[in-house]
Amino acid sequence: MKRKFKQKFKQKKKDDLSQTKKKYSEFTTKCRFCRMRVDEIDYKDMQFLQKLVGNQGKLLSKKRSGNCATHQRSVKIALKRARYLALLPC
């Protein structure tokens, strides 16, 4: 009796996990700029740039922010322009 109960419990857990994984993969596309269909990132937009900058003013990595390669590059350029104009602290 005990064994059967355990097996049933395990099967239920596996089913739940598979369902959640499917939902997760459906809704998430990684890059936030790809989702919004932005071509070039504006260096005057402080709302975006401050989200992509860490506590010390450094740019967050691609892995952490979830940006794709092209958008990560354009973020880097926008951040440097913003620093030059003293919109962000160096």
List contacts with Zn ion (CB under 5 A): 31, 33-34, 68, 71
For residue 47, the minimal CB distance to Zn ion (Å) is 17
Give the span between the Cα atoms of 74 and 39, in whole angstroms. Answer: 9
For residue 72, the minimal CB distance to Zn ion (Å) is 8
Choose between 34 and 60: whose C-beta lies nearer to Zn ion.
Answer: 34
For residue 65, the minimal CB distance to Zn ion (Å) is 10
Instruction: Report whether 56 contacts 88 (CB < 8 A).
Output: no
Measuring CA to CA, which residue among 32, 20, 18 is closest to residue 62? 32
